[in-house]
Structure 1
Amino acid sequence: MIQLESITKNFGSLQVLKGISFTIEKGEVVSIVGPSGAGKTTLLQIMGTLDRPDSGQVWLNGTDVSRMKEKELSAFRNREIGFVFQFHQLLPEFTALENVMIPALIQGVSSSTARKSAMEMLDFLGLSSRVSHKPAELSGGEKQRVAVARALVNHPSVILADEPSGSLDTQNKEELHRLFFDLRDKLGQTFVIVTHDEDLASKTDRTIHLIDGRVVSL
């Protein structure tokens, strides 16, 4: 599903990633852990094609994304990768339904098809009664579930999550963690999750430990 080979990344004279190589299989829930400054978010951004490595190669679902031009890469990202961030990144002026529709509309499907897909995903995540609510009218847990619905609406190959439960209270955090595993079991969804949450990391299929830009254990 995902293969990284000898990934390096520098910011000026600082080398953040120092030859990262590993493979993630379809249907795995994998956590990436390590101290602040270890390179976790930078690695996730490279895996998600939001940034390019200085050297090395990234394959996603059999495609070498390292060779893609920006326009082609943008379309590939929208189709193949879903993102969940710590602070949900929902657009405040749009309803839950409209937020979830956005990736489908960007992909070029009709408004009616995007609406149908978004409604199905919100219903699947138990949010059918909240579709017309804007983010300010939703709880923290509901916002993150809307963000997960948005990430899933195009049926991507992988979901990349950066501290997805970092802003949630204990109950909502546990519910979000259960949701990830339910989605893997029911949809065969692949997840890569950067987290400081030891409880979440302990439940994932595999934990990749980063220290000073290197993988110290898989």
Structure 2
Amino acid sequence: MIKVEKIFKSFGDLKVLKGIDLEVKKGEIVSIVGPSGAGKTTLLMIMGTLEKADSGKIYIDGNELSKLSEKRLSDFRNKNIGFVFQFHQLLPEFTALENVMIPALIGNTSYHDAQKRAMELLDMMRLRDRAEHKPAELSGGEKQRVAVARALINNPAVVFADEPSGSLDSDNKVELHRLFFELRNKLDQTFIIVTHDEHLASITDRTIHMIDGEIID
């Protein structure tokens, strides 16, 4: 479902990625681990089309992303890719429901349909009673579950998560990790997760180890 071929990336003289090859099947939960500076987040950002590789190819659902114009790439990202970041990145002036709806509205979904889908997802996240609360009124775990709902609103082919439980306490980490597997079982959702969390890495379907810009296994 995702295929990465010979991805190279440098920042000035620093070679960050050195010819990465990777394949991920639909419905897999894959973790990417390694020391700081290994290139994990850069690889995730390139696969998620938020950064460009110097060379190489990325395919998602059979689409070669390098062949898409900026406009088509932006549309593809909105409809096919979800993101979850370490610090949730919710917009503080909007409610949980509105935050979840935003990607759907950007993708020209009607307000009614976006609202209905967002409420379904918040219900799945056990957050229906928090829908009208703004981020400042939510706990850390609740904010991250809202972020997961937002990532899922357009039924993406894949969700990329960068240290999604890095800012959570132990109980909320366990809850979030359990949620990923529930979503995979219910929605056949694919997750690629950069993490330093050893427990999360140990329970994913597959763990990719990176060192110095290369996959070592």
Give the TM-score normalised by the residue count of structure 2.
0.99
- Structure 1, gaps ≥5 residues long: none
Listed one character per residue, the Cα deviations across residues 76-129 of structure 1 (whole Å, up to 9, x for unaligned) are 000000000000000000000000000000000111111111111111111100
Percent of paired sites with the same residue? 69
For residues 126 and 132 of structure 2, the distance between their equivalents in structure 1, rounded to whole angstroms, comes to: 14
Aligned to 2:153: 153
Q: How does 1:1-218 map to 2 (within 5 A)?
A: 1-217=1-217
Taking the aligned partners of 1:111 and 1:22, their CA distance within structure 2 comes to 38
Detail structure 1 runs of 4+ shifted over 4 Å in the superposition. none
Q: Helix, strand or coil: the match of 1:86?
A: coil
Q: How many residues align?
A: 217
RMSD: 0.5
Structure 1 position 67, deviation (Å) = 1.5
Q: What is the CA distance between 1:69 and its match in structure 2?
A: 1.3
1:68 Cα shift? 1.2
Aligned AA (1:158): V
Deviation at 1:22, TM superposition (A): 1.1
SS in 2 for 1:118: helix
| Secondary structure of the structure 2 residue equivalent to 1:160 | strand
Secondary structure in structure 2 of the residue aligned to 1:10: strand
Which AA in structure 2 matches 1:198?
E
- Structure 1: distance between partners of 2:14 and 2:197: 27
